[in-house]
Amino acid sequence: MLSRETKLIITEATDGEVFHRGQVYVGASDRHVLVERGRIRLEHSPKESWHRPSIDVLFRSAALAYGRRVVGVVLSDLLYDGTAGLWQVKKHGGVTIVQDPKEAREPSMPRSALENVAIDYCLRARDIGLKLLELAAQGPASPPLLVPGWPTF
């Protein structure tokens, strides 16, 4: 589905894989995606926020590994997964983006993030990609884009 929307290479993440700039990694089913310096880790650890994969796990590990180079994005979905992870991204100097809950099919995840984290950008879904390009152009080197699971559109 994502490959129809981008010219970037889309692959399912594998444990221990070295990640590459310009490639999008989609999380494997029922495995948390973690980022270590230069590598992707997958693990079947306990669910967080009733999810596996959990965006919180991904964001927390990315924030610890890459600090201010991380951009965390929360889109439409149920419950509050992503809120604690975005807090970690912000705490480590990264950038936080959420989809505007007013346009989200399932607004609880972006709303929870907005209520609990000092979010940098609250944008319509169609504007998030442009903001990511702008941020990548400003930074010394952009981090890889990691997608823990298929978002709800």
Mean pLDDT over the full length of the chain: 88
Assign 152 a pLDDT band (cuts: 50, 70, 90): very low
| 110 contacts 76 by C-beta, under 8 angstroms | yes
pLDDT (0 to 100) of residue 140: 52
In the prediction, which pLDDT does 138 show?
Answer: 87
Distance separating alpha carbons of residues 121 and 133, to the nearest angstrom: 14
* Residue 47: per-residue pLDDT: 94
* 3 state DSSP class of 25: strand
Q: Which domain holds residue 82?
A: 2-147
Q: Is residue 153 part of a domain?
A: no
**Which tens digits make up the pLDDT trace of 14-49?**
999 998 888 889 988 999 999 999 999 999 999 998
Query: CA 100, CA 76: separation in Å to the nearest integer?
Result: 9
Q: Is the pLDDT of residue 142 over 90?
A: no
pLDDT > 90: what percent of the chain? 67
The helix-helix angle for 55-66 and 83-91 (nearest 10°) equals 10
Domain-embedded: residue 152:
no
Q: What is the structure's pLDDT at 85?
A: 96
Give the count of domains, the chain. Answer: 1
Among 40-49, 62-71, 141-150, the minimum mean pLDDT is found in 141-150
The CATH number of the domain holding residue 85 is 3.40.50.180
E strand intervals along 55-123: 71-74, 95-99, 121-123
Query: In this predicted model, what pLDDT tens digit does every residue of 84-96 receive, in sequence order?
Result: 999 999 999 999 9
Per-residue pLDDT at 87? 97
